[in-house]
């Protein structure tokens, strides 16, 4: 379907799109421990790139992108280096907007609306950082401009068994209009779920304001007493796009859906980060094959499937890697090492003939000769993969299976199915 005449009359040079990536903060992501002890969750590497980098690169493909905003309540210093490097690489301004406290996805947008609208955008792309998918934003944007509503949400059909873990929705099969929305309902509503990727017109701010006003009418006069804080912030103190905005706007010809049949996951746990790293590695093969290691050449290790190796890492040519392996900066992989389905983080040393399978090996950790670190590969189970925190030493010939090991531990005996504090 093409764009409407009205949309076509507004040339691309007149249109502007801004992107907003919601990142949460340190009080969130507790399920991501022990990995979040070292780095803000949005900066944890998936397929060799920070988690937040994947949606940012997807936004970069929007032709009329004016600016990218990151909204969260992490300390600014955690992102300053990353953002300064990113702005230079992307040639698009990237700004971090720090919340004073959690305001929810809708509240965060509402709080910063003046900054988000300073480029006078026609459309605002809103993404959740902990979503892993192919982000079909250009096609979604065309559909959004075509139907003329104030918002479009990415949706996906899933099995009935898992649908209740997400926001379930009913849409008109012909027009795509969102007719009904229920966040994690107790009874089955639909096998279509909300993917946490949205495109809105600036009218969304009025819609948030209207919903806020309605809720305020049920608030006591004591709760409404003026305070020194920003009045707008007081009104939208904590509002979520899903429960608080989508539900009341459904069925009013304001919101529409765009279905994806491609991969989609939520990154809530370390296990899912390993799963999503493999999905992004597979995507590289189609979109950025130059990021994958070929294994060609006499001094190259044996490569099976999709493998990313940072240019500063040193891998012995007798090592065998893959499928689904990501090796970060300054890692040292010794002779005869076997790596399968794992993330090896910065400054890790893996000595000769050690094996790592279905595991994440934390920063500055070391594995001795003939050591074995492995998980069962169940990404959804708490102990389905093995996670070594920062600076964990696994001594020679020690076997670690389905364990979570907190930072700065030395393992000199084999362990199974344990959380080692």
Q: Is the pTM of this model over 0.85?
A: yes
The Cα–Cα gap between 89 and 215 comes to: 43
State the pLDDT confidence band at 214, using cuts at 50, 70 and 90: low
Say if residue 223's pLDDT is above 70: no
* Cα 84 to Cα 60: distance, rounded to the nearest angstrom: 16
Q: Which CATH number fits domain 271-420: 3.90.1170.40, 2.160.10.10, 2.60.120.10, 2.60.40.10?
A: 2.160.10.10
pLDDT value at 384 more than 50: yes
Among the ranges given (10-14, 56-60, 111-115, 206-210), the one the predictor scored with the smallest mean pLDDT = 10-14
If DSSP codes are grouped into helix, strand and coil, which group holds residue 189?
Answer: coil
Contact 391, 362 (CB under 8 A): yes
Residue 315 in tokens: 């891998």
* CB distance 134 to 208 below 8 Å: no
Say if residues 214 and 235 touch (Cβ distance below 8 Å).
no
Average the pLDDT over 312-316 and give the result.
96
In CATH, what number does 5-268 get? 3.90.550.10
Report which of 20, 216, 152, 166 is spatially closest to residue 99, judged by C-alpha positions: 20
Q: What is the mean pLDDT of the chain?
A: 86
In the chain, CATH 3.90.550.10 sits at: 5-268
Strand partners, 372: 355, 399
Q: CA 67, CA 59: separation in Å to the nearest integer?
A: 9
Confidence of residue 53 (pLDDT cuts 50, 70, 90): very high
Residue 227: pLDDT band (50, 70, 90) is: very low
Q: State mean pLDDT over 59-79.
A: 89
Domain with CATH 2.160.10.10 in the chain: 271-420
Token reading at 1: 């379907």
């Amino acid at each position: 379907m093409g764009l409407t005449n009205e949309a076509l009359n507004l040339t691309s040079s007149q249109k502007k799109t801004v992107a907003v990536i919601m990142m949460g903060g340190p009080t969130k992501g507790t399920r991501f421990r022990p990995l979040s002890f070292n780095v803000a969750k949005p900066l944890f590497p998936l397929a060799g790139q920070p988690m937040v980098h994947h949606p940012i690169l997807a936004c970069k493909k929007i032709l009329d992108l004016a600016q990218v905003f990151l909204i969260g309540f992490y300390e600014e210093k955690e992102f300053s280096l990353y953002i300064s490097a990113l702005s230079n690489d992307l040639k698009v301004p990237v700004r971090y907007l720090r919340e004073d406290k959690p305001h929810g996805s809708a509240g965060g947008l509402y709080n910063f609306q003046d900054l988000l609208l300073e480029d006078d955008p026609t459309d605002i792309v809103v993404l959740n950082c902990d979503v892993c998918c192919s982000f079909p934003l250009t096609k979604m944007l065309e559909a959004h401009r075509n139907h003329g509503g104030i918002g479009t949400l990415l949706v996906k059909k899933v099995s009935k068994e898992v649908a209740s873990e997400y926001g379930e929705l009913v849409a008109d099969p012909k027009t795509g209009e969102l007719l009904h929305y229920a966040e994690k309902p107790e009874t089955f509503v639909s096998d279509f779920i909300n993917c946490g990727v949205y495109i809105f017109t600036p009218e969304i701010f009025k819609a948030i304001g209207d919903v806020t006003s309605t809720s305020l009418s049920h608030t006591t006069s004591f709760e409404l007493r003026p305070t020194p804080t920003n009045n707008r912030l007081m009104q939208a103190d904590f509002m979520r796009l899903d429960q608080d905005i989508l539900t009341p706007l459904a069925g009013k010809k304001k919101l529409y859906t765009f279905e994806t049949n491609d991969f989609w996951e939520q990154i809530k746990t370390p296990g899912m980060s390993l799963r999503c790293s493999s999905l992004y590695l597979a995507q590289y093969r189609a979109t950025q094959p130059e990021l994958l290691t070929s294994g060609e050449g006499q001094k190259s290790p044996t490569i099976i499937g999709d493998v990313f190796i940072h240019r500063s890492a040193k891998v012995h040519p007798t090592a065998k890697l893959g499928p689904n392996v990501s090796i970060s900066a300054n890692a040292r992989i010794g002779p005869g090492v076997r790596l399968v389905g794992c993330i090896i983080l910065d400054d890790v040393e893996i000595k000769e003939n050690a094996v790592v399978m279905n595991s994440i090996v934390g920063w500055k950790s070391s594995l001795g000769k003939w050591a074995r670190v492995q998980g069962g590969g169940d990404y959804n189970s708490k102990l389905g993969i093995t996670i070594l925190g920062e600076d964990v030493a696994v001594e020679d010939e020690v076997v670690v299976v389905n364990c979570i090991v907190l930072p700065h531990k030395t393992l000199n005996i084999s362990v199974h199915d344990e959380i080692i504090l």
